[in-house]
A = this chain, B = another copy of it.
């Protein structure tokens, strides 16, 4: 073992006042160290976040630092070029073979000679901060449960007979202060050849549980392992399974992708899947198999896209609603279909990927499932709480995670409430006549001229509006294929603003609205957005049925939010965060015209993107966040929408667009809604439809 390793052990060195002063930036941490102390040792003793995989052997180059020379009055230090030792042979060899950025030194080899200021570049920090795109969002501190450790293992000695695993464990104890480990049989079988191939120097991947117990030996490689270490953050939704493939060292997302949840063929929403399981013996097993297969496929395609070996994926964190949770685990969800909606287990789960038949990951990969909040409020809601932290907000924030099942959180530092609401898949473009998932060619933005009633739109894949020059050429590749979730929300809201739709949700006829784009469809009408039938293309319109589906969805969402506001004893909230797989794409104004969310100033509506997915990513990258959310979940007050009589009342009242009774004063400041009425046969607001649909759940 090199002397640097010994010096970098935990024993504090005695420092005298005449010893050189070392100041680390950006942390500003400082201390005096005897001449000859390796920079890595000084950093460790001061708690400066300086990485090292090889434990100071000059192999891994993770501990690169940049000495800063000159006069630093801020720190009271004058740093001369001689303040670090000359290049030793290990460092020189590393530079010659692998190269080092100019000005960089290896922290384990360079030793302190005089007062000095040392900068730790971001890539040398273990606990890097990963900045998320959304402006309001928290940063993620890298401290994943799974990490790599390079160790030198003592060779076996006949006269002191201990197993190779026991000597490996001792090396981890002595070189990395890891108290104890356990190894699966499948690692044990490769342990001996790998130790010998690496000449007793190996890299191990260890999984530390955030609760207790020994670390789990996930894998072992001869010498310094320079392959990747990856993890998956999976948001398992009723309609869509979305996943981020993350680098567990840098924290970067290599790629993200989603697939449809194949369980859709057993039922579009949660309750129809529960019914399927109840009606068909073994039906739950079929759904379990389907979702596991889909996750395996998604893992494979993400790995291919990123160009990595899926066997280098060592962890997955999964968030999902309770029904998805039970079906993933292979638990019959029947109890979740009836009061009192008892979960088989509500705690977080640490499982082996193998037990979930995740066959594409590393054979010993671990899976962490966030805790569920209640029978209808799942691990996805917990993930949203982890990502958006309503409990740390000073103002009262409403977080709405829009999906087939919406997760709704309301809270501030005093209290957090949560519920879920079955919105159905309309917001994801399903059950919509021209609906489709968000893919190139899908209409995602819509504007309707209030005078001419003519629409213009944008599709995914080009920034041009349909009435701008060059649009036809830009759209030629994908075609114009349908309307995605954010597109249907804007279309319906724009129809309402343009007077094509009355507040009960009825589409007017061509006569009533004065535009031939309102065409008859059976006894109702549809509004044509794009008609390419002459060229053999589709007719893309918003039908009366589409409006009804959106009304059901948005009423459920609004009613859930109102129920939480009732419980909190408030009539308005300070801030709204729209989350969900397509939450970032929803226009706040249009959402409010629809009455999806309570009235707030438009600049108080924020997009958080896929907050559940982000929560999964946080739990993947930061082990402490697992304990944190487990505690938080215990403090959240759960509201069960299915049995609250007021939910029904709120639901019916929210059927009107934007609302039958609630005023929307903030909305009125920016939009004035016309008040046509197209009801010529006394048809009401269609509240009964919703009533029938709701009763299926209770």
Contacts and interface: CB of A to CB of B under 8 A. Distances in A.
Interface in A145-166: 155-159, 161-166
Interface stretch (A182-190, A433-441, A581-589, A675-683): A182-190
Interface stretch (A268-276, A371-379, A390-398, A508-516): A371-379
Given A166-B346, A355-B185, A161 B329 contact: no
Contacts of A373: 161
A69 interface: no
Interface string A349-374: 00100011000000000000000111
A330 interface: yes
Contacts of A345: 163-166, 183, 188, 191
B192 A342 contact: yes
A640 interface: yes
A163 B355 contact: no
A325 to B, nearest CB: 10
A331 interface: yes
Interface in A323-357: 329-332, 334-335, 339-347, 351, 355-356
B341 A185 contact: no
A212 interface: yes
Contacts of A377: 161
B332 A189 contact: yes
B158 A332 contact: no
A367 to B, nearest CB: 11
Contacts of A193: 332
A355 B373 CA distance: 33
A665 interface: no
Contacts of A640: 158-159, 161
A638 interface: yes
A375 B158 CA distance: 8
Contact of A372 (B163, B183, B344): B163
A159 B643 CA distance: 10
A162 B344 contact: no
A159 B376 CA distance: 12
A640 B166 CA distance: 19
A213 interface: yes
Contacts of A155: 340
Contact of A344 (B164, B213, B329): B164
A490 to B, nearest CB: 37
A212 B179 CA distance: 14
Interface centre among A155, A161, A339, A343 (most CB of B within 10 A): A161
Contacts of A351: 185
Given A156-B342, A213-B213, A335-B192, A161 B355 contact: no
A188 B340 contact: no
A366 to B, nearest CB: 14
A430 B334 CA distance: 60
Nearest to A169: B347
Nearest to A328: B185
B638 A161 contact: yes
B189 A331 contact: yes
Contacts of A372: 163
Contacts of A343: 161-164
A161 B158 CA distance: 57
A344 B192 contact: yes
B163 A346 contact: yes
A329 B329 CA distance: 28
A205 to B, nearest CB: 18
A340 B163 CA distance: 11
Interface in A112-162: 155-159, 161-162
A289 to B, nearest CB: 14
A161 B331 contact: no
A549 to B, nearest CB: 29
A145 to B, nearest CB: 17
Contacts of A330: 185, 188-189
A308 to B, nearest CB: 28
A390 B525 CA distance: 95
A185 B330 CA distance: 8
B375 A341 contact: no
A344 B165 contact: yes
A353 B617 CA distance: 34
Contacts of A183: 345
A161 B341 contact: yes
B158 A188 contact: no
B192 A332 contact: yes
13 contacts: A155-B340, A156-B340, A158-B339, A158-B341, A158-B640, A161-B377, A163-B343, A165-B344, A166-B347, A183-B345, A189-B344, A192-B332, A192-B334
